[in-house]
């Protein structure tokens, strides 16, 4: 179970990139492609294996209003279920 002190990172073989044709982020992984919404893409960009959920929430809170740790945790839990995010 992840907590606010957990440190997320993209799993091995997973890559977030920007598709210029579709003008959206795509998450590439061995099993396929996932098109994250803008919220998930903002969270994924910060999953570097160094920042905790609290630190990610702080960075996002500086960019956007109303960012809550519970919301960031929910996004990361869904991404974890899809097996694209792991925790260190």
Tell me the per-residue pLDDT of 4-58, one tens digit each, with 9 for 90 and over. 999 999 999 999 999 999 899 999 999 899 999 999 999 999 999 999 999 999 9
Report all structural domains of the chain as residue ranges with CATH numbers, in order of start. 9-83 (1.10.10.1150)
Residue 2 confidence (pLDDT)? 86
Question: What is 37-88 written as a DSSP string?
Answer: -HHHHHHHHT-BSSS-HHHHHHHHHHHSSS--HHHHHHHHHHHHHTT-EEE-
Tell whether the torsion through CA atoms of 14, 10, 18 and 66 is positive or negative.
positive
User: Is pLDDT at 1 greater than 80 in this prediction?
Assistant: no
DSSP single-letter state for residue 11: P
Better pLDDT: 88 or 37? 37
Name the band, by pLDDT with cuts 50, 70 and 90, for residue 88. Answer: confident
User: Is pLDDT at 63 greater than 80 in this prediction?
Assistant: yes
CB 7 within 8 A of CB 87: yes
């Amino acid at each position: 179970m992840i907590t606010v002190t957990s440190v997320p990172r993209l799993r091995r073989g997973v890559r977030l990139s920007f598709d210029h044709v579709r003008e959206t982020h795509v998450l590439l992984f061995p099993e396929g492609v996932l098109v994250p919404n803008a919220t998930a893409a903002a969270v994924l960009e910060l999953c570097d294996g160094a920042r905790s959920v609290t630190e990610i929430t702080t960075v996002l809170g500086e960019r956007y209003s109303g960012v809550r740790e519970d919301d960031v945790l929910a996004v990361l839990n869904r991404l974890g279920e899809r097996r694209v995010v792991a925790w260190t």
